[in-house]
Amino acid sequence: MRVLGIDPGSETTGWGVVEGKGHDYRLVEFGTVKATPRERFSTRLLKISEGIENLIVRFRPDAFSIEEAFYAANVKVALKLGQVRGVALLAAERANLEIFEYSPRLIKQTVVGYGNAEKHQVQEMVRVLLSLKSVPEPHDAADALAIAICHFHHAGTVQRILAADARGKLGSPLPATRRRASR
């Protein structure tokens, strides 16, 4: 399985591609889609959307994982982040990818073992988990890799739930963080 992780940002959107199975995964590539604050916001959104669409064409991921929106004290920042997430989700939906959304706390809990971990702790664990010589830079890309890694750790659980549900052993619906794209 190949996963494209996205850490949305209105100036720098981090991305990371990880492939493997279960807890056995490896780095494919990572980077950022950059937009300058001098550009109109709509121009930045277009640049981010096109950047993600190009990544999807280039890496052909099986799954798309993205950080859920989080509460921000600054409403204007939260709204802009929501719009960036919207164009990222739209690009994934257009490509007919399965979309998985993870909360920042769950990502940190999964990768570091502590839901209130600091950025440098997440970066270091991404380095360790992917057997890298140095911490991925910038931090936006490291965060995107953490989101992809989080998906690998939780995808197996989702598959077990689906299998048990198919056998009629569960009556509960899937977690709200998983959504299957229309085929």
What residues are labeled active site? 7, 67, 140
Cα dist. 121→52, 88, 103, 146, 148 in Å? 26, 26, 17, 11, 16
CA distance 6 to 10: 12
What is the SS3 assignment for the chain?
CEEEEEECCCCEEEEEEEEEECCEEEEEEEEEEECCCCCCHHHHHHHHHHHHHHHHHHHCCCEEEEECCCCCCCHHHHHHHHHHHHHHHHHHHHCCCEEEEECHHHHHHHHCCCCCCCHHHHHHHHHHHCCCCCCCCCHHHHHHHHHHHHHHHHHHHHHHHHHHHHCCCCCCCCCCCEECCCC
